């Protein structure tokens, strides 16, 4: 069974940094692209970033490009999202998802999410 477990969320001041993690199991992690998707309170879902299975290709939404960095450690089956220069509008639940990039281009399986709050 595919399982994704996000961690690392919390309260951070504007301008601060946070690193999210997504521990994965139940599938061949290195063979799968992975995405981050977020949802601000009371709002819809927003795609944030995707990384290829090797980690060699990364893509970002305009709203986070230059501030967020996605990476992965295939030896640890773990996905990361380094978030810098955080703003109030980055407050959201952040989900990781197993992504079928370059196959059928969709999010196959989702984690339960971790909450990030950016506030002074």
Partner 1 sequence: QTVVTQEPSFSVSPGETVTLTCGLSSGSVSTNYYPSWYQQTPGQAPRTLIYNTNTRSSGVPDRFSGSILGNKAALTITGAQADDECDYYCVLYMGSGVYVFGTGTKVTVL
Contact footprint for partner 1 (CB under 8 A): 35, 37, 44-47, 50, 57-59, 61-62, 95, 100-101, 104-113
* Cβ nearer to partner 1, comparing 53 with 113: 113
Q: How far is the CB of 120 from partner 1 (least distance, A)?
A: 26
Q: Which is nearer to partner 1, 19 or 112 (CB)?
A: 112
Nearest to 82 by CA among 98, 94, 100, 99: 94
Determine how many CB atoms are found less than 10 A away from the CB of residue 24.
23
Please identify, using beta-carbon distances, which residue of 96 and 118 lies nearer to partner 1. 96
Alpha-carbon span 9 to 114, nearest angstrom? 5
Q: How many helices (H) and strands (E) does the chain have?
A: 0, 11
Task: Find the shortest distance in angstroms from Cβ 1 to partner 1.
Answer: 11
Closest distance to partner 1 from the beta carbon of 12 (Å)? 22
Report the C-alpha gap between 17 and 86 in whole angstroms. Answer: 6
Smallest gap from Cβ 65 to partner 1, in A, equals 10
Q: Of 59 and 77, which CB lies nearer to partner 1 in the complex structure?
A: 59
82: Cα within 13 Å, side-chain hemisphere: 7
């Amino acid at each position: 069974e595919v399982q994704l477990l996000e961690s690392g969320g919390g309260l951070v001041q504007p301008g601060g940094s946070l690193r999210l993690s997504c521990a994965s199991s139940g599938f061949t992690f290195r063979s799968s692209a992975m995405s981050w998707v977020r949802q601000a309170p009371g709002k819809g879902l927003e795609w944030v970033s995707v990384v290829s299975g090797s980690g060699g290709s990364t893509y970002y939404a305009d709203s986070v490009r230059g501030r967020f960095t996605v990476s992965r450690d295939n030896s640890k089956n773990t996905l990361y999202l380094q978030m810098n220069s955080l703003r109030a509008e980055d407050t959201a639940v952040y989900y990781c998802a197993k992504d079928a990039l370059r196959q059928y281009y969709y999010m196959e399986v989702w984690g339960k999410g971790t909450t990030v709050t950016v506030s002074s």
